[in-house]
Structure 1
Amino acid sequence: MKYLFSSIFLLLTIYCSAQPAIIKHDPLIKNMVDEVSSKNIEANVRKLVTFQTRHSLSDTLSTTTGIGAARNWIRSEMERYSKESGGRLKAEFDVFTQPADGRRITSPAIMKNVLGILPGTDPLDDRVFIVSGHYDSRATDVNDPKVFAPGANDDASGTSAVMELARVMSKHRFNCTIIFVAMVAEEQGLYGAANLAKRAKELKWNIAGMITNDIIGNSYGVETGLKDNKSVRIFSEGVSVVETPAEAAVRTSTGSENDGRARQFARYLKEVGERYVEQLDVKLIYRRDRYLRGGDHTPFSQAGFAGVRVTEMNENFDRQHQTVRKENGVDYGDLPDFVDYDYTQKVARMNLASLANLALSPREPENVGVVTTQLTNKTVLKWEKPKGEIPAGYYVVMRETSSATWEKKFFITGTTASFNYSKDNYYFGVQSVDTEGHESLVVIPKAVR
């Protein structure tokens, strides 16, 4: 299917077979982005708060309170989206028994992640993208399963955003699979994410990227006095914990410690998110997570997948992990009236634009390499097309070694390219692109002869 596009031309100095790169705006993605509703996100947050507590060890039998009622409602909403999508979205529980840990799990407990699985339409494309928020909540005492724990921002905001993505995106078809997840037991030790990561590993899912949206609804930092409804942070690791000694040796010799798969995924979210969402400034944070802290992407990172965390720019700790109360004129507690729903909508739209662009894109080029048969100040790249697929072309991306993001983009129709830029002074990458302008993730070249 062809679309009309508005295009931004990047004026670049091109060599050899490279051509001016054209960055296209897909009206289908733009329409999906516009459909993401702040009112729906707010309604979802307020509904989740009505369950009084979503503590992972709270009531599972009531139809109105506790984690059981919450997860049943989330699944029923996923099933409603499924009907609206003609049955393509598959709603299910990811059920597991979490053993007692002597810390935050006092006795074995049956727990359930809620999944909305949107299968891809291309049988050759086995890529899987996961986008999540965690639906459990807590108050000051993490082991109190009965106290009122509204968890509006942490993390009904992320869960509600993911639900809204499922509602909008399930109406459309994508090359590869997208899984929308409401995770359980994040506050107890990332147990829901750990179970799903283990399942993905055992079933050999090709997870090309995993996003957790955790605490994405606050735009005012009380301690700093900053009001910022434009900025959002994406945390990503540079070096994978499953890196082998041989891979570490290559990384050391090529200086590619800032080019791990998670870091490339984060760069992609920034580039495409800012392309489609106005008044958005994505901040790339070069840590797996906040200082000495973790989130639901962590078990995926530990399993070798490209996991990243999306979080508001300024956290408000008067709201986070606090029992609802008022002390010395200060309101404490994570209540829905304190969430900025227009800001949350903006973050959700960034997620959607990036995931849609990726899931519509061709698969990544294969065997990407920098040719090193001779000492030269030129850079020669070569690669192979994805198996069973012929992209419209490829983008070779380039940046200075001190730059956080790709600075130049060259369009190539073949599978080789030569540039009058030294590989000593710049980093290069290659991504596939289709006729509509949907780019794959960037592949960092290896040294080849």
Structure 2
Amino acid sequence: MLRVLTRGLLITSVLATPSLAAAPEAVSQARLRADVESLVSFGTRHTLSVQDDPKRGIGAARRWAEGEFRKTSAACGNCLEVVLPERMVMGDRVPKPTRLVNVVAIQRGTERPNEVVIVQGHIDSRVTNVMNATADSPGANDDGSGTALVLEAARVLSRNRYPTTIVYAVLSGEEQGLLGGKLLADYAKEQGWTVKAVLNNDIVGNTRGSDGLIDAKTVRVFSEGPRADGDDKLRAAARRFGGENDNPSRNLSRYVAGLAAPELAVRQIWRTDRMGRGGDHIPFLDAGIPAIRFSVGVENYDHQHQDLRNEKGKVYGDTIEFMDFPYLAKVTRLNVRALAAIANAPAPPETKVEAAVSTDTKVSWNPAPGATTYCIYRRATTAAIWGKPFVCEAENAGSRTLKGVRGDDWIFGVSAISAKGSESPISSAVPGGQFAPLK
């Protein structure tokens, strides 16, 4: 654990090791398997499938997920508010008006309920033809794994209380055009939430690739480079002052990597998503909200987006026997640690730096509700990750002049720490570095 003694203040940094008690050991591999088995039992969960059948289709699957959230809420004294945001949709992959419904459980924060961290996975499934709404489409890994992770995170984290809000979201319509992600991003805006982070989990339950390569030791975390909500003015500023590698989602990825345990390393992938692919974190990025995607270390393309079949002895289809539940439990534990850390911490402060034509650098920041201390970080412009804090301020002065530190040579950032020592992700002092929409 990284411990920094600065001006008489002892800081424990979550950026080095997982330090906040989030009971990740309470994650149950057996419950994860049972949830995926339940999801597979609905035959197909295609967004265009039947909605009023009690046993088959997207409607039955959604009602089951809602029921699981309500069971969890009953067990914690009704600590979860279950809501069902919906809208009618049409599009390239939705040829007729279709009811789209997300299943969302809200665990309100005890101090700052409008500060929110979201964990999500999509419940809908598909086969080879994205418009085939009737064929069996088990969707065990894509994305039964992510849905099971969200349900299990709610069971574990609902046993405790946090200063800020955790939202557990089961989304529909991902395979038809990221429709559930857009619905939830819009809902968050309508609620007036300040969303500090979105953890999107999509295909997080296998360890053998379609080429036979096995990787049970890493999970990939994808984060965008230049901000999706940036404009020409921001791009011009970034060209002059740097920061192309320091948007909030990239710093969120660094933060989660710092929380990884020896059982599962984070392999950061510095692109928005996989080549030619997408996920439900993208609508949040479009809205200027920090969001990252968790996905397996190696994908198996024979077991995603495939008709169920056997060709010359080779089995195709996203069925449960090709999943690795010990691995899914490890990814779930990492999410639980990250959710607890972010929910316990203040929001990252908005930060700026002044260093032009000077041998000194002035770093300043806006106050973050719930913060009692701020730590200033610096790293070389060519460095990939943050190191230990450069200096920490206990008196909340709002700025610090770093004597003899030439700003041209460094990227600077500031984190906010609560009275109990919970530390936020670092907010970089670069154009567009703030953890908030630009528009």
> Is 1:87 the counterpart of 2:72 in the alignment?
no
Match of 2:116 among 122, 128, 135: 128
> Is 1:106 the counterpart of 2:95 in the alignment?
yes
TM-score of the two chains, using structure 1 as the length reference: 0.89
Displacement of 1:436 in angstroms is 3.3
> Is 1:313 the counterpart of 2:297 in the alignment?
yes
| Cα pair distance change 1:27/1:257, threshold 3 Å | closer
| SS across alignment from 1:178 | strand
> Is 1:50 the counterpart of 2:32 in the alignment?
no
> Is 1:140 the counterpart of 2:128 in the alignment?
yes
Q: Kindly report the root-mean-square deviation, in angstroms, between the aligned alpha carbons of the 2 structures.
A: 2.3
Displacement of 1:372 in angstroms is 2.9
Residue 106 of structure 2 corresponds to which residue in structure 1?
117
Is the 1:301–1:307 contact (alpha carbons within 8 Å) kept by the matching residues of 2? yes
Moved over 6 A (4+): 24-28
| Cα pair distance change 1:285/1:18, threshold 3 Å | farther
- Mapped to 1, the partners of 2:355 and 2:12 lie a distance apart of 30
Is the 1:21–1:409 contact (alpha carbons within 8 Å) kept by the matching residues of 2? no
Is the 1:361–1:439 contact (alpha carbons within 8 Å) kept by the matching residues of 2? yes
TM-score of the two chains, using structure 2 as the length reference: 0.91
Match of 1:332 among 316, 341, 345: 316
- Mapped to 1, the partners of 2:387 and 2:180 lie a distance apart of 38
Match of 2:54 among 41, 50, 63: 63
Residue 413 of structure 1 corresponds to which residue in structure 2?
394
Letter in 1 for 2:247: G
**Deviation digits for residues 289-324 of structure 1 (CA, Å, limit 9, x no counterpart):** 111211101111111111211111110001011111
Gaps of at least 5 residues in structure 2 are 432-439
- Mapped to 1, the partners of 2:230 and 2:220 lie a distance apart of 25
| SS across alignment from 1:439 | coil
Residue 3 of structure 1 corresponds to which residue in structure 2?
none
| SS across alignment from 2:135 | coil
Alignment of 1:172-251 (within 5 A): 172-223=160-211, 225-251=212-238
Is the 1:201–1:303 contact (alpha carbons within 8 Å) kept by the matching residues of 2? no
Letter in 2 for 1:286: W
Residue 352 of structure 2 corresponds to which residue in structure 1?
369
Is the 1:130–1:210 contact (alpha carbons within 8 Å) kept by the matching residues of 2? yes
Displacement of 1:430 in angstroms is 0.5
Is the 1:18–1:412 contact (alpha carbons within 8 Å) kept by the matching residues of 2? no
- Mapped to 2, the partners of 1:442 and 1:260 lie a distance apart of 10
Is the 1:295–1:309 contact (alpha carbons within 8 Å) kept by the matching residues of 2? yes
| Cα pair distance change 1:19/1:251, threshold 3 Å | farther
| Cα pair distance change 1:201/1:115, threshold 3 Å | same
Letter in 2 for 1:85: C
Match of 2:12 among 12, 19, 22: 22
Match of 1:304 among 277, 285, 288: 288
Is the 1:140–1:321 contact (alpha carbons within 8 Å) kept by the matching residues of 2? yes
Displacement of 1:21 in angstroms is 5.0
Residue 435 of structure 2 corresponds to which residue in structure 1?
none
Letter in 2 for 1:108: P
Displacement of 1:203 in angstroms is 3.8
Is the 1:236–1:289 contact (alpha carbons within 8 Å) kept by the matching residues of 2? yes
- Mapped to 1, the partners of 2:387 and 2:19 lie a distance apart of 26
**Deviation digits for residues 359-384 of structure 1 (CA, Å, limit 9, x no counterpart):** 10123334x332337511x4332334
- Mapped to 2, the partners of 1:27 and 1:300 lie a distance apart of 26
- Mapped to 2, the partners of 1:18 and 1:271 lie a distance apart of 25
- Mapped to 2, the partners of 1:254 and 1:27 lie a distance apart of 33
Deviates more, 1:357-366 or 1:65-74: 357-366
Letter in 2 for 1:107: K
Match of 1:264 among 224, 246, 251: 251
Displacement of 1:200 in angstroms is 2.4
- Mapped to 2, the partners of 1:199 and 1:157 lie a distance apart of 24
> Is 1:385 the counterpart of 2:367 in the alignment?
yes
Is the 2:238–2:430 contact (alpha carbons within 8 Å) kept by the matching residues of 1? no
Is the 1:183–1:192 contact (alpha carbons within 8 Å) kept by the matching residues of 2? yes
Match of 1:289 among 264, 270, 273: 273
Aligned length, in residue pairs = 426
- Mapped to 1, the partners of 2:353 and 2:384 lie a distance apart of 21
Letter in 2 for 1:341: F
**Deviation digits for residues 152-174 of structure 1 (CA, Å, limit 9, x no counterpart):** 00000000001100111122111
Letter in 2 for 1:221: G
Gaps of at least 5 residues in structure 1 are 1-6
Letter in 1 for 2:124: D
Residue 412 of structure 2 corresponds to which residue in structure 1?
428
- Mapped to 2, the partners of 1:230 and 1:36 lie a distance apart of 18
